[in-house]
Amino acid sequence: MTTPNLFKFATSELSQDAFICWLLSWAKKEYKKGDDKQKALNGIANRVLALFFEKAGKEIPNTIETIVVQRQVSNIDILCIINDTYCVLIEDKVGSIQHSNQLVRYKQFMIDGHSTIFEENKIVAIYLQTHDQSSYKRVLEDGFYPITRKDLLDIFNNERHEGLKYSDIYTNFYDYLTSIEDAVQSFKYLPVSKWGHRAWIGFFQYLQSQSQLGEGSWGYVANPSGGFMGFWGFTRKVDDVDIYLQLEQDKICFKMAIPQKENRKNFRNRFYKLFVAEASNFDLTVSKPKRFGLGRHMTFAVLDTDIINTNSTSLVNLEDVNTLINDLRKFINHGVDQYEKQSDC
């Protein structure tokens, strides 16, 4: 029987802050000798802290003599001081992303602004994201180390201590994270017609994981017709123009980004004609979009395919998707190469 879950109602970052603070507080050494629940939560808390140190490339102290956990210190979500020596600095996210140079500011505050200052090599700067984020490149550039939902679930799934069943708070959070992960992975066992927002995220993450796609990016794209979940990648630059692929859920578009207003129409038309002419060499069918635009970002051609079909009641064939994506990468590179050859003539 399914029972009410606290975290289906307490969905804000502040609620998650409270849970993380609660969990880390169990790392105190006296709980190692408590009852079964205390021992179990102590073990989980220490494993989570060990993960934080490992991600930051630092060694966790052999014994946690003291641990002080605080919330919202100078806008820092969670601050955890261990043995009066190490500062675990946590920026906690539930779907939003970093902004306004906040990560750099928080780290600098602990170096020279906090009542107790810390050397940089004693700061474990963690970026905790329990929902999903397209890229962590900027997070890493700002000196923080990403911890994802999967990282936490790997720890939770490997912990089978009997005492954990006595903590509703812990089991509610574990079940809540598991439900999110199940929804993200549902693209593997649901037909495309049944995919929700999280299933599309899971599918796009799968595309990112394929070596032929490189990094790629995904996210929600708002537009007057209601918006869509999109994925974009395979960018090739020619002159000042970016040519790239964009998946608008089941619609696959060839796009260009042109910063200057001059010659947009000429550029668009040349690439449209080139891609239509060259498509048959890759066993692809490319057609004109419903309408041509003249903005900074334009769709100049669309792919005719039913491999990803939102009306289908069948599962998507990931092998077919991999083959198609690899062919499209080669096709875009070929198209740009042909354009450059024509321009040199």
| 129: nearest Cα among 177, 179, 198, 86 | 177
Burial code of 294-314, b = ≥16 C-beta within 10 A, e = fewer? Answer: eeeebbbbbbeeebbeeeeee
**What's the CA gap between 80 and 56, in Å, rounded?**
15
Is the full-model pTM beyond 0.85?
Answer: yes
- Nearest Cα neighbor of 207 from 231, 184, 226 is 231
pLDDT at 190: 95
In degrees and rounded to multiples of 5, residue 254 shows phi and psi of -100, 120
pLDDT in the model for residue 128: 97
**pLDDT for the residue numbered 305:** 85
- Res 13: pLDDT: 92
Backbone φ and ψ of 284, nearest 5°: -115, 155
User: Cα separations (Å) of 330 from 174, 190, 335?
Assistant: 42, 29, 9
Report the C-alpha gap between 211 and 215 in whole angstroms: 8
CA distance 309 to 287: 17
The pLDDT tens digits for 13-71 are 999 999 999 999 999 999 999 898 999 999 999 999 999 999 999 999 988 999 999 99
Low-confidence ranges of the chain (pLDDT < 70): 211-215, 345
Domain boundaries, the chain: 6-182, 211-344
pLDDT score recorded for residue 112: 83
* pLDDT of 345: 65
Phi, psi of 179 (to 5 degrees): -65, -35
CA distances from 265 to 107, 268, 298, 305, 340 (A): 47, 5, 10, 26, 18
Q: Which of 23, 21, 339 is nearest to 159 (CA)?
A: 23
Question: What is the pLDDT, as a whole number, of residue 223?
Answer: 80
pLDDT for position 249: 87
Instruction: Tell me the two tokens of residue 115.
Output: 């009542």
Distances (CA, A) of 50 to 16, 54, 96: 20, 6, 25
Element (H, E) at 102: helix 102-112
Containing 256, the helix (H) or strand (E) segment is strand 251-257
Phi-psi region of 59 (alpha: psi -120 to 50; beta: other; left: phi over 0): beta
Helix axes 13-25, 168-184, angle to 10 degrees: 130
Give which of 137, 335, 161, 142 is closest to 235, Cα–Cα.
335
- Cα separations in angstroms, 143 against 88, 127, 151: 13, 10, 19
The DSSP 8-state label assigned to residue 323 in this structure reads: H
